[in-house]
């Protein structure tokens, strides 16, 4: 089995070349950045540094009501199972399901052996689930990574004091919630050569009620429609 050791910049450059060729061939059609397709002889990728190789979960092909979605309407998943990771990673292990930020810097889509993968920095992973194949119902079980915390967002009233129903756009955006889980802490690199990195624990803890910067973090909803947000501890403004 041939292995391929790569860094994200190398694959990203290759993907850009592939996309450029596609644009030249079809100038009248808008082409999305193409995934890097691994040569058939390579069956394994070995990430370096803090890079993590994730096998992307399948896209949702039906709605909750059973309606079949056209391919263009299927939501691109932002979760998958860890396949391999670099030697500088500290918070992941093989086989766990991770949630990641699709806007991560330097992440690269890869097609290999008929499956879709993403090569992404560990710091762009939002959190991990206790098992594989996680769904919306597993959102409350998410464990944040690094210096992130997960909050259950406080609900807000949809009516005024006089009983008038408010439209969705008129409802004030909540910016308070209760912490339901916290990450292990931020990695601090050793200041001297040979000095080991250390993990700086978070100051907040599960159960704390906090106020946060309302535009921060990654929002998600569980199967019951309850809203959660995962954000960096630095985006917490105050304890309540």
List the pLDDT tens digit at each of the 240 positions of the chain: 565 665 555 555 555 544 454 444 444 333 345 688 888 888 888 999 999 999 988 765 444 444 443 434 334 448 889 999 999 888 888 988 998 876 666 788 999 988 999 999 998 899 998 877 777 888 899 999 999 999 999 886 555 566 666 555 545 566 899 999 999 998 887 666 666 778 889 999 999 999 998 888 888 888 888 999 999 999 999 998
Question: What's the DSSP call for residue 112?
Answer: E
Q: What is the dihedral of CA 83, 89, 93, 98, to 10 degrees?
A: -70
Spell 40-57 as b/e; 16+ CB within 10 A means b. eeeeebebeebbbbbbbb
Residues 6+ apart with CB under 8 A from 141: 129, 130, 134
Decide: helix, strand or coil at residue 1: coil
| pLDDT at position 74 | 33
Q: What is the pTM of this model?
A: 0.71
């Amino acid at each position: 089995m041939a292995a391929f050791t790569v860094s994200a910049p190398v694959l990203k450059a290759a993907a850009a070349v592939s996309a450029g060729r596609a644009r030249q061939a079809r100038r009248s059609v808008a082409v999305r950045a193409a995934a890097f397709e691994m040569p058939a002889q390579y069956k394994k990728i070995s990430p370096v540094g803090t890079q993590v190789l994730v096998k992307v979960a399948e896209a949702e092909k039906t709605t909750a009501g059973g309606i079949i979605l056209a391919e263009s309407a299927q939501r691109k998943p932002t979760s998958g199972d860890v396949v391999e990771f670099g030697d500088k990673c500290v918070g992941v292990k093989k086989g766990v399901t991770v949630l990641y930020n699709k806007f991560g810097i330097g992440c690269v889509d890869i097609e290999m052996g008929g499956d879709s993968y993403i090569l992404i920095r560990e710091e762009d992973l939002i959190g991990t689930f206790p098992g594989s194949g996680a769904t919306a119902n597993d959102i409350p079980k998410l464990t944040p990574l690094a210096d992130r915390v997960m909050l259950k967002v406080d609900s807000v009233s949809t009516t005024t004091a006089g009983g008038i129903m408010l439209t969705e756009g008129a409802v004030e955006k909540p910016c308070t919630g209760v912490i339901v889980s916290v990450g292990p802490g931020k990695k601090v690199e050793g200041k001297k050569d040979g000095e080991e990195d250390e993990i700086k624990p978070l100051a907040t803890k599960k159960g704390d009620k906090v106020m946060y910067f309302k535009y921060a973090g990654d929002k998600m909803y569980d199967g019951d429609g309850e809203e959660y947000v995962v954000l960096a501890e630095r985006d917490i403004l105050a304890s309540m």
